[in-house]
Structure 1
Amino acid sequence: MQRRMTLDFDGNLRVYSREPGSTVWAVTWEAISSIPCFIHGACGNNSLCSYDPAKGRSCSCVPGYVPKIRGDWSAGCVPDFTFSDRCVADEIRFVKLLYVDFYGYDYNTIYNTTLKKCRRTCLSLCNCRGFQYTASGYGTFDCFPKIKLLNGHNLPSFTGEFFIKVPKNKTFTADQLVKRTQYSCPPTPEVKVVDRTYSKKGKNGVLNFMLWFACVVGGIEIVLVFLVWFFLIRNQQDVTSAHQSYLLAATGFKRFTYDELKKATTNFSKEIGRGAGGIVYKALLPDDRVAAVKVLSNATTGEADFLAEASTIGRVNHMNLIEMWGYCAEGKHRLVVYEFMEHGSLAQNLSSPELHWKRRFDIAVGTAKGLAYLHEECLEWVLHCDVKPQNILIDSDYQPKVADFGLSKLMDRGKVTNSDFSRIRGTRGYMAPEWVSNLSITSKVDVYSYGIVMLEMATGISPMTSIHSLESGGDTRQIQLVPWARNKVNELGRTGSRLEEMVDPALKGDYDRKKMEVLIEVALRCVEENKDARPTMSQVVEMLLRHENDG
């Protein structure tokens, strides 16, 4: 079965289906099927949509208005009258329209009010085009002053009243004011009384027949149940595969076979990265897309669980998160397929002269946005648990994309229940103190790791390497990055001239001093020992964006 979803010219969203070998597309679902006039903007401003099952949908102007462009109802209607001043009460009156409802564009909603107060409110507003007065269902009435007459439709079941603002000298006919949709019903056929007689003969025969019939039906049902059960058991694998394929089609990514990915990666010969989770290979998919294929090295989760987690991750969509294209769960093999990043990871670019100051600041903002989306905007709560330069990829425009989010779920590295994790996750040097202090794990572990990455990007110093100390006579000694950065910032506060000692020498002094101070300050707030003192990722985004256009 082929299917397509189309936003049609009339504003309705429909699914069309076509049988194999057929040339006819049939509508099998539509978003709005009962009353087409409920489609917003079906007719333009100051117009009404009417629906007759026999004639379909049609548009007309509200009383006192004329079409703006003949034949084009999307342009709406314009008034054929003018006010010398809309706020002069003596020149204005309100005309009641029956069976008319306008959706949206309320100036305000006034609850539990009188018709007189509602009229006075609209009269005092120069841009009020009319008002709707409707019973609330609790014995009171609510007022809806309208600043625009859009999404209007005739609704025979509408019990409220709508009042349109017009000049006092404007008159209308009764037909103009009653806009109730008329339905054409066929004449009622003549009712005929059927004379029926019931035979009372053979009661025992009827009962015997019914008993025999029930036994036969019961026997057939038992046979059918057995056959269905037998069929399901024999074809469980095929049915499961088909069901999974349907789910993957619905979520927008593909299930690959192991042989397909083996061929796409030229027998896994083009390695482009590796880590604790597995090895990444460059691949050319059958549709000529260049992809990255990650072979998970320690994945132990079952196929059904792997599919469920892959489906969840495949639905995550953000410009600063890597896009997952598919997966493979075949036998013992567990692989994920995602988009290929031309410039590799942030770790591979930290020493590159192409990673100038503006690109570094953009990477800081983009990475924060991606993590904020995972923490606060996803349908499911997602922690990355391993934020580091190797998991921040760079596209052709040097925009960051966070990778490997949700990988811990795919690899089944301990079950997650609320905020309790059964195993330590992450990379030494980037891990929050909570992992080793038996505290609850929250999104603040990602905030801590993000802060370490930002310090590394600003200073060029990895938390895993030694720091060359000029103060110690040129000796190289092991100094922890966070305490070192805090001390430098404190010295900067006293002397005002030590920032250059912190900044990555690869920038060669070419950076925005104010923004650099902000980036380091935000990074140090992210790496507070107390997780409650750290900001959320959305707060990090806000602090960085506040200074993004400065300078």
Structure 2
Amino acid sequence: MANRDDPVDGTGSQLSISKDGKLRLTNSAGITVWATRTAPSTTLESWKLQLQLQNTGNLVLNHSQNGVVWQSFDSPTDTLLPQQMLTRTSTLVSKLSKVDYSSGYYKLFFDNDNVLRLLYQGPVVSSLYWPDPELSDPGLAGRSMYNSSRAAVLNELGYLWSSDHLEILATDFGVKTHRRLTLDRDGNLRLYSLEAMNEGWDWVVTWQAVSDPCTIHGICGPNSFCSYDHASGRRCSCLQGFKIKDPTDWSFGCEAEFNIPCNQSHGKLSSFVQLSHFHFYGYDLEFLPNVTLQHCENKCLRACSCKGFQFVFKADYGGYLCYPKYELYNGQLTPNFEGDLYLRVPKAGFVYNKTLDAAESLLNCTAELSRKVRGTYENKTVKLLLWFVTAVGGLEVTCIFLVFLSLFMSSKNSDPVAEGHLLMSRFKRFKFSELKKATRGFVEVIGRGGGGVVYKGMLPDKRVAAIKRLDEAHQGEAEFLTEVNTIGRLNHMNLIDIWGFCAEGKHRLLVYEYMENGSLAEKLTSNELDWKKRFDIAVGTAKGLAYLHEECLEWVLHCDVKPHNILLDFNFQPKVADFGLSKLLNRGERDHSSFSKMRGTRGYMAPEWVYNRPITSKVDVYSYGIVVLEMVTGKSPTGTQHSSGGRGAKEHNSLDTLVRHADGREASRESWNIEEIVDPSMGGRYDSAKMELLLKVAWQCVAEDKDDRPTMTQVVEMLRCDEVN
């Protein structure tokens, strides 16, 4: 499906082969909403092209001289057909519902460990669930991480092979029939065969990845649990004390009808209710082996963020295991599970069954009165009715008064920013006092920019975090919600991970994972980056940006790609950060997005900003090219030089001159001496071929015309192609 998340209207839309040799989909206004990709330098005559639908189901655009220009098999949606290859650059994404074919919450792809996996990427959180995540090593599931080819293919006989050693046989293997492998909207991967029935033909399931549908993550959302039996199928239910958040979408889960204040006495205000055979996967504050129930309970009581704990007996460990939970996701009610969940609830004013077994998971609200009580009730019916009418009348007056008072106070004291955010995001919400304590009063500054200062802090659960305090002068509701909700939709190893936020009064803070090696900008001035680290940083950054532009469920423009916003972990792996200036695009806006103001940093901004041209993902490509040139040459586009001395001091070798002479030409081989360009701080110790490749890619990225620049996906392919060779 082309343009599945913003389909064109049914009247006036057109699919055609354009004069530049591309297959284009235009809407009724004549705006291109989708087009096939060809190499930037390739120009094909349209009269030599032919569009053909093959018997395999592949839609192919052929050129009489160059062969296959584009084929639909390279861009699967939620289904693989026989002979169609799933590769490291392609994914399957489920549809949202039975009638809504837009991108859903589930994804089949090859992970960075070369294993074919299923991922839940929902409105709240993301997590892998197949192969079984409780298996620490994919090898225990029969998978291999040691084949980097990343390919999977299905044949007509019902056999699927994957490079990670996964092999699938349909129950009707050997029969030659029509087949399809589909990632269904419920998150299960199924193999279907077309079989003849009494009343025609129908698709029959001949294999599925997950046998128990309740083990699929995200099915029921937070604070709820999934139960399954063959008679009634799968069902979702809220934990007692919680109510469903969105009746139309269980992925949003349930919200609490009670509140436990987070203060010095919070441990004294709460208790626990035992839920037998309830299993909640993940989101552990810590892992405590061989402890008593009392010890586990005390641990949870001391942590304000603890919502309960899992208490399980494991013979392998020779005792009980304790898992305090800061969130309750992926809940299952499984009679065979030998463990209990102890749910944290208010100590007073909360009615709850002391023990809830599997057989008691549904409330029984029809308790039978004893004969004695029933007789007393019947003898006093008239008197009780009179008292009841009087009491209800007084109660109504009181309630009306309290409702009006509550509405007045909430309209007067509500924080619209915080309330709006709670509707849009599901991160952990911190109090300002918590983060002030975590940072010891905001004393250790580790970064600046993007409208705020970043401090190092220690969270209550002992995790080291980067806490960004946004400036009051620059930080309004729109910018805050943009940054929080943009990052909340994303899941990639080369993007920074956000843990929580604070929206309290005038305070706006974001809590990120802490990156041990700081920013790329810092390391470029410290001479700690050899040529290999620089090359790996270029590849990782390109992967992160490619995900933003083309792989995530929404298209995101970063708009401020620079070394300060590329952070490095303990192993110098890059993570793109600071989405304060990002732009979340609808799929139909890809080629004609509009911005209310200029965004970015001087020296890294694409010419489109200056000349008021349409802003697309190519602005990030340009900024990325500048960053790569900066890493290779050691020179900043803002005029500073990261390293001094050496051959690089020649004027014609300045970064500005390199950019002006680039214009899409491979100057590395024609006009420049590589030794005069590369950062002298590396002392001549580098791989010339790798540096030339980086220069070649960077020069294409900084082309004046955006149409001459590659996409970030093409950049990744160019850099990874060198790895393969």
1:323 counterpart residue number: 497
1:57-98 per-residue CA deviation (whole Å, 9 max, x = no partner) reads: xxxxxxxxxxxxxxxxx9xxxxxxxxxxxxxxxxxxxxxxxx
Question: Do residues 547 (structure 1) and 607 (structure 2) align?
Answer: no
Equivalent of 2:201 in 127, 141, 160? 141
Contact 1:248–1:254, Cα closer than 8 Å, also in 2:
no
Equivalent of 2:683 in 503, 508, 511? 508
Partner amino acid, structure 2, of 1:361:
F
1:154-198 per-residue CA deviation (whole Å, 9 max, x = no partner) reads: 999xxxxxxxxxxxxxxxxxxxxxxxxxxxxxxxxxxxxxxxxxx
Equivalent of 2:710 in 535, 542, 548? 535
Contact 2:675–2:684, Cα closer than 8 Å, also in 1:
yes
Please give the residue correspondences for 1:76-155 in structure 2 after superposition, counting only pairs within 5 Å.
110=177, 133-135=195-197, 140-141=200-201
Hey, which of these two has a bigger chunk of helix by percent? 1
Q: Partners of 1:474 and 1:365 in 2: how far apart?
A: 29
2:281 counterpart residue number: none
Question: Do residues 263 (structure 1) and 437 (structure 2) align?
Answer: yes
1:343 counterpart residue number: 517
| TM-score using structure 1 length | 0.55
Q: Partners of 2:532 and 2:605 in 1: how far apart?
A: 27
Residues 488 and 278 from structure 1, CA distance in 2 versus in 1: closer, same or farther, beyond 3 angstroms? same
Contact 1:388–1:453, Cα closer than 8 Å, also in 2:
yes
Unaligned runs of at least 5 residues, structure 2 = 1-140, 142-168, 180-191, 213-228, 232-391, 585-589
Count of residues in correspondence between the two structures: 365
Q: Partners of 1:465 and 1:260 in 2: how far apart?
A: 41
Which structure has the higher relative contact order (CA within 8 Å, separation 6+)? 1
Q: Partners of 2:658 and 2:651 in 1: how far apart?
A: 20
Residues 219 and 418 from structure 1, CA distance in 2 versus in 1: closer, same or farther, beyond 3 angstroms? farther
Deviation of the 1:377 alpha carbon: 2.3
Q: Partners of 1:472 and 1:245 in 2: how far apart?
A: 52
Q: Partners of 2:194 and 2:650 in 1: how far apart?
A: 80
Partner amino acid, structure 1, of 2:625:
G
Equivalent of 1:522 in 687, 697, 707? 697
Question: Do residues 463 (structure 1) and 637 (structure 2) align?
Answer: yes
Q: Partners of 1:462 and 1:263 in 2: how far apart?
A: 37
Deviation of the 1:364 alpha carbon: 0.6
Q: Partners of 1:262 and 1:479 in 2: how far apart?
A: 42
| TM-score using structure 2 length | 0.43
Residues 474 and 459 from structure 1, CA distance in 2 versus in 1: closer, same or farther, beyond 3 angstroms? closer
Please give the residue correspondences for 1:42-441 in structure 2 after superposition, counting only pairs within 5 Å.
110=177, 133-135=195-197, 140-141=200-201, 228=403, 230-235=405-410, 251=426, 253-275=427-449, 277-297=451-471, 298-302=473-477, 306-307=480-481, 310-407=484-581, 419-441=593-615
Deviation of the 1:336 alpha carbon: 1.3
1:3-56 per-residue CA deviation (whole Å, 9 max, x = no partner) reads: xxxxxxxxxxxxxxxxxxxxxxxxxxxxxxxxxxxxxxxxxxxxxxxxxxxxxx
Q: Partners of 1:472 and 1:282 in 2: how far apart?
A: 36
2:658 counterpart residue number: 482
Q: Partners of 1:472 and 1:454 in 2: how far apart?
A: 16
Contact 1:107–1:146, Cα closer than 8 Å, also in 2:
no
Contact 1:430–1:452, Cα closer than 8 Å, also in 2:
yes
Q: Partners of 1:226 and 1:341 in 2: how far apart?
A: 53
Q: Partners of 2:519 and 2:656 in 1: how far apart?
A: 24
SS of residue matched to 1:273: strand
Deviation of the 1:254 alpha carbon: 1.8
- Aligned residues: CA RMSD: 4.8
1:29 counterpart residue number: none
Unaligned runs of at least 5 residues, structure 1 = 1-73, 75-101, 113-129, 157-216, 411-415
Residues 417 and 442 from structure 1, CA distance in 2 versus in 1: closer, same or farther, beyond 3 angstroms? closer
1:202-242 per-residue CA deviation (whole Å, 9 max, x = no partner) reads: xxxxxxxxxxxxxxx9999999777655544445689989x
2:150 counterpart residue number: none
Deviation of the 1:308 alpha carbon: 7.1
Q: Partners of 1:384 and 1:149 in 2: how far apart?
A: 36
Q: Partners of 1:378 and 1:472 in 2: how far apart?
A: 40
1:460-503 per-residue CA deviation (whole Å, 9 max, x = no partner) reads: 111122689999996799762434663997664347x8111111
Residues 147 and 314 from structure 1, CA distance in 2 versus in 1: closer, same or farther, beyond 3 angstroms? closer
Partner amino acid, structure 2, of 1:288:
K
Q: Partners of 2:209 and 2:481 in 1: how far apart?
A: 49
Contact 2:648–2:678, Cα closer than 8 Å, also in 1:
no
Contact 1:108–1:144, Cα closer than 8 Å, also in 2:
no
Residues 145 and 457 from structure 1, CA distance in 2 versus in 1: closer, same or farther, beyond 3 angstroms? same
Deviation of the 1:535 alpha carbon: 1.2
SS of residue matched to 1:355: coil
Q: Partners of 1:140 and 1:525 in 2: how far apart?
A: 55
Q: Partners of 1:107 and 1:299 in 2: how far apart?
A: 65
Q: Partners of 1:504 and 1:254 in 2: how far apart?
A: 43
Equivalent of 2:669 in 493, 509, 534? 493
Deviation of the 1:332 alpha carbon: 2.0
Contact 1:345–1:393, Cα closer than 8 Å, also in 2:
yes
1:454 counterpart residue number: 628
Deviation of the 1:324 alpha carbon: 0.9
SS of residue matched to 2:567: strand
Deviation of the 1:358 alpha carbon: 1.3
Residues 228 and 471 from structure 1, CA distance in 2 versus in 1: closer, same or farther, beyond 3 angstroms? closer
2:184 counterpart residue number: none
Contact 2:663–2:704, Cα closer than 8 Å, also in 1:
no
SS of residue matched to 1:529: coil
Hey, which of these two has a bigger chunk of strand by percent? 2
Contact 2:662–2:700, Cα closer than 8 Å, also in 1:
no
Q: Partners of 2:653 and 2:210 in 1: how far apart?
A: 71
Deviation of the 1:257 alpha carbon: 2.1
Q: Partners of 1:150 and 1:470 in 2: how far apart?
A: 61
Partner amino acid, structure 2, of 1:320:
N
Residues 234 and 477 from structure 1, CA distance in 2 versus in 1: closer, same or farther, beyond 3 angstroms? same
Q: Partners of 1:149 and 1:407 in 2: how far apart?
A: 40
Contact 1:456–1:463, Cα closer than 8 Å, also in 2:
yes
Q: Partners of 1:319 and 1:487 in 2: how far apart?
A: 32
**Which structure's CA Rg is the greater one?**
1
Contact 1:389–1:453, Cα closer than 8 Å, also in 2:
yes
